[in-house]
Amino acid sequence: LTGVPREQRAFQYLLAHAIPGDPRHVLQTFDRWCYRGEHLSSVGPVKGRIVERLLRERAPLRVLELGTYCGYGTVLLAQGLPPGARLYTVAVDPRHAAVAEKVIRLAGFDEQTVELIVGPSEEVIPRLRERHGLPKADFVFMDHQKRCYLRDLRLLESHQLLAAGATVLADNVLFPGAPHFLQYAKTCGKYRCKVHRASLEY
């Protein structure tokens, strides 16, 4: 009705209410908007705790996020990074990427810590090493189109972008569901799999 996309409306709410440079407060403000204002398909606080726990356990130095959307997951990942770590996040939609960039910078993360890459994941992944300087990822968070999960995992494998012992965390594999990805991960013999039960965000 306003002509302003809901992602932009959410950012305007963040600007008005979030404390700049405080990533946790930025996320809490985002949650408040999604609970009381408009639903946005970000990872949310409940599943966010799983992400935070795994980051603490793994302490990865090179993290890849597929599916930036508005930057919620990016801020969640970035605040859990150990010193000296770097996060690469891939957004397919330039309009969402423009919002995410502002959210990430509002939370206090510069380009040395978080690099936002705009483009389809199937085009970005093959050039991550040469163009963006990502030798191998220790931690991958998939939260983009579910139909792309298996294709992109196999792309990461074929371009040798997964470090030994890397963690691949994929959201919403049961609902809306990524059955081919899940079957491959469980049966290919390369991974140890665990399903984390959680509710849908918000």
Q: Is position 136 annotated as part of the catalytic site? A: no
Backbone angles phi, psi at 90, to 5 degrees: -115, 120
- The DSSP code sequence of the chain is --SS-HHHHHHHHHHHHS-TT-HHHHHHHHHHHHHHT----S-HHHHHHHHHHHHHHH--SEEEEE--TTSHHHHHHHHTPPTT-EEEEEES-HHHHHHHHHHHHHTT--TTTEEEEES-HHHHGGGHHHHH----EEEEEE-S-GGGHHHHHHHHHHTT-EEEEEEEEES-IIIII-HHHHHHHHHSSS----PPP-PPP-
Asked about 146 being catalytic, the answer comes back as: yes
For the question of residue 172 being annotated catalytic, the response is yes
Whether 102 is catalytic is no
User: What DSSP state is assigned to residue 86?
Assistant: E
Catalytic entry in 171, 186, 190, 194: 171
Q: Which of 101, 138, 146, 152 is catalytic?
A: 146
Query: Could you tell me the end-to-end alpha-carbon distance of the chain, in angstroms, rounded to an integer?
Result: 23
101 is catalytic: no
Q: Which of 31, 101, 143, 152 is catalytic?
A: 143
Catalytic residue among 102, 172, 190, 194: 172
Catalytic residue annotation: 143, 146, 171-172, 201
